[in-house]
Structure formats: structure tokens, C-alpha cells
Chain A
Amino acid sequence: MADAIAAVSEGQRTAAAFRNGTAFLTGDIPTVDPEGLRQEALARCRDGGRIVAFFALPRAGSDAGHDVFLVVAEDGLSSLRVLRTRLLPGNSLPSLSAELAQAQAFERELHELHGLSIVGHPWLKSLRNHPDLVGRSGNGSQSGVHPFFQVRGPGIHEVAVGPVHAGIIEPGHFRFQCHGEEVLSLEIHLGYQHRGAEPLFLRSSPARRLVIAESIAGDTAIGHASAYCMAMEGLGGASLPLSAHSLRGIALELERLANHIGDLGALAGDVAYLPGASYFGRLRGNFLNLLMELSGNRYGRGLLSVGGVRLGLDAAMRKSFLERLRKDESELKAVADLMFDTPSVLSRFEHTGVVAMQTARDLGLVGPVARASGLQRDVRHDHPAGIFRFAHIPVTVATSGDVMARALVRWLEVQRSLTFVQEQIGELPEGPLAAKVEAALPNRMVVALVEGWRGEIAHVAVTDEKGQLRGYKIVDPSFHNWFGLSMTLRGNQISDFPLCNKSFNLSYAGHDL
């Protein structure tokens, strides 16, 4: 495939480099032995790479074993390195986790989904815990009966929370090991939301696949639908009209605006700063309402189609959108200035739940959470696709890694997105809203990355020799980030947990699939 930037080996390095959203022949992916895969992953990640996806597909024929694929992003080079290893039944994979912490959940997933034996993993604990997962290690229908990491000693006590929490929130189980108020360890056990999205996706019609993508995480309908459409368009070799790219960009940023503003309100609520909670809470709705006027649904469902978008903006709507965005912008500024200038808010936000930059890098965190710890990581900038190839949004970075940094990054991104959306609406190109997409090409792989409001959304599609989907891997940003939340609590007070949790606001459904 001509789009492969380079498939040359550089000494020991063999992984081929590809671009976001561009399909390539699966035959162009270098195949190495399991130890080679491990060495390469370690080397690439030492040089600033990070794991985007690490997954297996069963090979055709019974007892034919598995193809294991590793996708590493090199953000500075806008390239994606892909590598494969073949595991026959009985073969095992040497674990990366002890040296590369960001691999730990991926390896647990490989073990649980396919029963692969991962040698040297510190603890192959069940990740989603369900009977449809072959290598599961827990008890499917009982809530909260997994083994947990335990701390023993005088004065040590355990706090168990969930799966049903106090608020209107998705289910998950949190197990704290505490000494008095101080948390020594927080272990987060998820899986309650496991809906079997990936296997269902593979056996569904294209129309159903789109609505499943929109429902991976319902607050990220545009983000996941964009990634799905990009993957299908990449496999079919489609070229979209500029207006479609622009409208997708507008929708993606409106989604980011609504969620970031909602998060700012929720953070204000958690430190009992009610003006912030009420005003941001209402302003969030204004952006959902703009999405509704564009798409017919407050979360943008039904807007995207493979090939483009289904609805556009006429002149009257553009005018009304711009007027409202200007008004919202001035109201947002007033509230944010107020909140970030209130001592009681700052004293709760600052130095709470710190994630150091090195920790964020080790865990492979993505999105605003990573940027709040000083990592320059943003798919829109690093692996630009669609409208972001033509219109740029500056990457927002903070350094302190605390709740304050995560709030501030959100507020700065809100301002950047507001500017972007207004620019795009102001100069929205005329023309068709969608292009025809041909059937997927056979024996291809495509990696589609989208910077959702929580961070990098990765969809990896693989076709067989007939052009049918052979595999579809979904990685929600939350999959990378949940462990980061655990780290915020180490050595901190348990009473700071709700605030730290809000400052991450991760998706349970996106993790559990």
C-alpha cells in the first residue's frame, strides 16, 4: 500500500509506520516472534511511543491460534507503528507490564478474551468478568466478589464502594485500603457495564454498527461514531467533501464543549461552590441544544453517516448559532473568572490528586488528564485527520497534574473549541454533505484515531480476504485512564475521592464495552 510511510527495518526495529485513518495491507505488517514484539514495544515506548491498541484476533480454522497486533503511536512523527506476532495454541506471550505499566490492562484483556497465556504479568486479574470471556477468573453474576489487593497491619481498614453508587452514575466497584483517612491503595474493579459490544459489532449490519458505535459511551456519541466512520471510509478508500469534515469537526467540538463545561460544573458542585455548579450546569445544556438543533438529538446521534454527515447548517442556522455562541462565550467567561478566582475553590483544587508527569507517561494516559500532567498529547495535533488537517487547535498543557490543572485544561480547551467552532461555522463550505463509500477492500487494516473529549478514541478494523470485517477493536480513552485515577488517591485523603473522580470523569461503559 502506497500510504505506508516506511516499512523498512531500522536495525532491530521492524514495525511498519502508518498514518491515522489510512488503510494498509495486513501483509505489510511485519510479523515477529513474541519476544521480538516485547523488545520492540519496550524500545518504541522508551523513545516516546505509547500503546494505542494491543489485541488478538483468532486465526481462521480451529486450533489455528491467534494473531496478536500491537499498535504504538509515535506522536511527534504522526506515525503509527504496527507489529504482529502469531501465537499457536500452547504458545505464550512474554508480559510487558512489569516494565511497561501501560500494557497491564491490555494484557489482562488478551488473557480474558482469548485465554492467552501471558508470562510474567504481575496479576492477570479479571478485567470485565463475564461468562462470554473465555479466560475469566471471577464469578460472573456476583457483584463485588473478586480478590482485591490487600494491605494488612494495625489500624488498616478497607472501604468498599459500588457497584451501585449514591448518585446517578454508571456502576463500578472501588476498594480502598486506608489507614485512618489516608488511602494507601485504591483498586478499581469494572466490568459491570460489559455489554459484549465488540462481538455484537462484528455480527451486526452496517446500520447497527453505527448505532453501537454511538452507544459505546453515550456522552461521546460523536467521537466514537467519527472513529467508526473514519475506519470504514479508510477501508473503502473514500474522500469526503470538505463540508462533511467541517461539520464533523463542529459536532466533535460541541461535544467537547458540552462535556468540559459539565465537568467544570460538577467540579464546582463537589467543592460546594454552587454558582459554578448551577451556571456551568445550565451552559452545558446550551451546547447540547446546539447539537440537537444540528442533529435532532442532544448528543448528536444520527448526525454522522459513513461517507459524511446527514444534516447541515443553512444560513439562518449559522447566524443563530454564531449569535448564541458569542453570548454563551461571554457568560462562560464571567462564570469561569469568578470560579477560578474564588479562594475556597482554589484551596480545594490545588495540590489535590496529583498525577506526576512521569506517572502519566508510564501509565499511557491520554486526553485532558494527560495534558494536565504536562504531556503534549492530542490526536487533533499529533495525528490530524479530517478538518484538523486544515484547521488547527493549539494543544493545551498544564503542569501541576492536580485537580486544578485538570479543571484549568478543560477551561482553556473550552475557549479554544469555542474559537474553532465559530471559525468553522463562519466559513462553512457549500457543497454535498457526503460522498459514496465503496465496499471495504480485502486484507486491510485501518487505525482510526479521534481526540474525543476524554482523549484518544481508537478503532482498529481488520478485513478478511473477502473484504468482510474479521476483527474490530475499540479502545475508549477511559481504558488508558482508569489506573491514573487510582494513582491520584495514593497518600491522599479518602474524602478527596469524589473530587478526584470528577476531575477524571471516565466512562465505565467505554471501558467495559
Chain B
Amino acid sequence: MIRVLRARLQQGYQTSTRPVDALQLPERFRGRPDVVPSLCKEGCRACADACPTEAIKLRPLRLDLGACLFCGACQDACPTGAVRFTNDHRLSVRGREDLVLEGKELPLARSLDARMRRLFGRSLKLRQVSAGGCNGCEAELVALGNVVFDLGRFGIQFVASPRHADGIVVTGPVTENMEAALRETYAAVPPPRIVIAVGACAISGGPFAGSEAARGSLPPDIPVDLYIAGCPPHPLTVSDGLLRLVGQLERRDARRQVEEEIRAETLEWGARRANAELRAVGVDAGKGIPGRPNRGNGKAT
């Protein structure tokens, strides 16, 4: 027993406490690419030729994150830095076309509508279906349950039966041999239900796009509510996407904004009072006590 306790002390507290959207991954981590079409040289197609999955289209430069494997080959090939990978891990969107980067910002996923948020905002149970996944995405979804990422603390859980689930998380290029099982699983989830496509394979076929043995994406009668890009997406990418979908990040940001407003108003009121008192007793307060604090960079800390 003493040894169990000693090991427990050595292990310490490991759960990541910073908000999932504010964590910084290492410099080499290839997250959201920056795409700057204006830097392209006339007639150059180095990045498109280097891309293994034809995720890049030219004139103007467009990069489809749904097909991107984040391998970095385009960045290595580009002579001008028009494609450059950042370590930003936030890669979840609501619409398939939102995944196409062409110099504008990636429109990160908005939350579900009010009714769905009311149902799933605090408790979301998901059934995972691997439909040809290579165990990369699956392994990262499993990792969400470990003590570091601990998705359960946000009320999101993977469950054993589709009957207990509010939606499905699909990985893999939807092989022909899994299509029937995928449909049956989807049908077994009681509506309203949500569908989340995780990883390049489920979104575009990924490395297996064009294979005769796989569809290369979810069938149209299984409409997707959230696309999470990556190969595989980092666990933080997935949790960021899920929390955005159920509105937890919005709710947190809204609460934080209200708190900040109240704090600022309080400080301003206090400073006014203090300056008035100082003037009343004839003390020269110079420029006075500063009021509204600096808003900072708006980044969650």
C-alpha cells in the first residue's frame, strides 16, 4: 500500500488544466497551415506536385484541409513560404467547404443550435465507428480518455452501445465492407443525433482516396455535423472541436467576457471615486489612478 501511495506521489497531478484551445504544442508540430496565395510565383506548382493527396489546387492557391495529411511536403517544396505549417491545433469546422483554405481565416466550428445545445451541451455520449481507420485516429480518440486529456470532465464520453449514444464518431475511408455496419450503427442511435467525421480518411479518403474498396467519405444520407481535420488529429484538436460543437468554449468565452466587463466597470468606478476623493482632500493625483485595465491580447490563459 505504501508503494502504491509512493507511486501516486511520484506520478503527481497530470491532467492538463489549461483550456484546450489555448495550449501550445511544440514548434515542429504541424497544425493549421498558413496559406498566402499572394506569395505564389507565376507558374509555380511545386506544392501541388509534392502533395501526396492532391489537396492543393492552384490559381489561386487553395489547400483542402479535408484531404491534407499534414505531412509537410508542400512546405518543403514551396520556394516562397506561401504554405507554412503553424502549430495551431484548432482544426474543426462545421461545413465541408470550410476546410478549404485560400488565404482567409479557418472558420472554426460554431456550436449546435440552441435546442441541440440544450440536449448535448453538458452531456454528450458518442459511439465510435472505425470504417477502415488505420488505428491512428482510433488511438487518439482512446487517448482522450487518459488522465492528461480526460475528456470525461467536460461531460463527453464514448459509450459501448449506439442505443446509449447521442451521435457517432466515424474514422477511416468508409470501406465497402464496413458500410453496412456503419449504417446499422447510425440507424441504432436515437435521433436527434450528431455525426462527427474525424481524420482525413473519413473526410476525403485521405491516403486511400480513389481506392475501389472504399467510398472515401461518409455517404450523403449520413450528414456530418463536425469535421475534424488531421492525420490523425491531435487529441487536443478533437477535444477543441467537440467543445466548440457543444458550445462549451462559447459559453466559457461569453462568461469570461461578462466577467471582464464587470471587472473593468468596477475598476473604472473605483478609480473615479478614488480620484474624486483625492481631489476633494486637495491631493494632486497627477494623471490619477488608471481606470479600465489593459484588455491584453484577448487570448485565454
Binding site for B on A (CB under 8 A): 128-132, 140-143, 163-164, 166-171, 191-197, 199-200, 205, 207-208, 210-212, 214-219, 221, 262, 275, 278-279, 281-282, 284-285, 289, 292-299, 301-302, 310-311, 331, 334-335, 337-338, 341, 507-509, 512
The complex places the Cα of A285 from the Cα of B141 at a distance, in Å, of: 13
Looking at B131, B132, B158, B212, the one whose CB has the most chain A CB atoms below 10 A away is B132
- Which of A168, A205, A292 is in CB contact (< 8 Å) with B141? A168
Residues on A with C-beta less than 8 A from B6 are 334
For the complex of A and B, the 6 pairs showing the least CB-CB separation, nearest first, are A218-B136, A196-B213, A218-B134, A166-B160, A207-B52, A196-B211
Contact B177 A194 (CB under 8 A): yes
* A-B CB contact pairs (8 Å), 12 listed: A140-B176, A171-B129, A171-B131, A192-B178, A194-B175, A194-B176, A195-B175, A208-B52, A211-B69, A215-B201, A301-B69, A508-B135
Query: Which residue of the partner chain B has the closest CB to A207?
Result: B52
The complex places the Cα of A218 from the Cα of B147 at a distance, in Å, of: 22
Looking at B25, B137, B139, B206, the one whose CB has the most chain A CB atoms below 10 A away is B139
Contact B181 A171 (CB under 8 A): yes
The complex places the Cα of A285 from the Cα of B77 at a distance, in Å, of: 31
The complex places the Cα of A496 from the Cα of B270 at a distance, in Å, of: 68
Residues on A with C-beta less than 8 A from B141 are 168
CB distance from A246 to the nearest CB of B (A): 18
Contact B176 A193 (CB under 8 A): no
- The contact size tier of chain B is 35 or more
The complex places the Cα of A262 from the Cα of B28 at a distance, in Å, of: 24
The complex places the Cα of A207 from the Cα of B56 at a distance, in Å, of: 14
The complex places the Cα of A293 from the Cα of B210 at a distance, in Å, of: 32
- Which of A129, A168, A299 is in CB contact (< 8 Å) with B136? A299
CB distance from B53 to the nearest CB of A (A): 7
The complex places the Cα of A284 from the Cα of B52 at a distance, in Å, of: 29
- Which of B139, B180, B231 is in CB contact (< 8 Å) with A141? B180
Looking at A211, A262, A285, A295, the one whose CB has the most chain B CB atoms below 10 A away is A211
> When A219-B139, A279-B7, A297-B70 are in contact, do A143 and B180 touch as well, CB less than 8 Å?
yes
The complex places the Cα of A214 from the Cα of B172 at a distance, in Å, of: 14
Binding site for A on B (CB under 8 A): 3-4, 6-8, 10-11, 14, 25-26, 28-30, 50-53, 69-73, 76, 85, 128-143, 146-148, 158, 160-162, 172-173, 175-181, 184-185, 201, 206-208, 210-214, 231-232, 234
Contact A193 B28 (CB under 8 A): no
Query: Which residue of the partner chain B has the closest CB to A219?
Result: B135
Residues on B with C-beta less than 8 A from A129 are 177
Looking at B14, B76, B133, B232, the one whose CB has the most chain A CB atoms below 10 A away is B133
> When A196-B213, A207-B52 are in contact, do A141 and B179 touch as well, CB less than 8 Å?
yes
CB distance from A131 to the nearest CB of B (A): 7
Contact B208 A195 (CB under 8 A): yes
> When A169-B130, A215-B136, A509-B132 are in contact, do A281 and B147 touch as well, CB less than 8 Å?
yes
- Which of A292, A296, A297, A509 is in CB contact (< 8 Å) with B133? A509
> When A129-B177, A163-B178, A293-B26 are in contact, do A210 and B136 touch as well, CB less than 8 Å?
no
- Which of A168, A193, A278 is in CB contact (< 8 Å) with B132? A193
> When A212-B208, A296-B29 are in contact, do A302 and B70 touch as well, CB less than 8 Å?
yes
Query: Which residue of the partner chain B has the closest CB to A330?
Result: B10
CB distance from B277 to the nearest CB of A (A): 54
Query: Which residue of the partner chain B has the closest CB to A265?
Result: B146
Residues on B with C-beta less than 8 A from A512 are 175, 177
> When A296-B30, A335-B7 are in contact, do A302 and B72 touch as well, CB less than 8 Å?
yes
- Which of A128, A196, A278 is in CB contact (< 8 Å) with B208? A196
CB distance from B225 to the nearest CB of A (A): 19
> When A163-B181, A194-B213, A196-B214 are in contact, do A218 and B28 touch as well, CB less than 8 Å?
no
Residues on B with C-beta less than 8 A from A331 are 10-11
Contact B129 A130 (CB under 8 A): no
CB distance from B127 to the nearest CB of A (A): 8
Contact B7 A334 (CB under 8 A): yes
> When A143-B180, A334-B10 are in contact, do A221 and B4 touch as well, CB less than 8 Å?
no
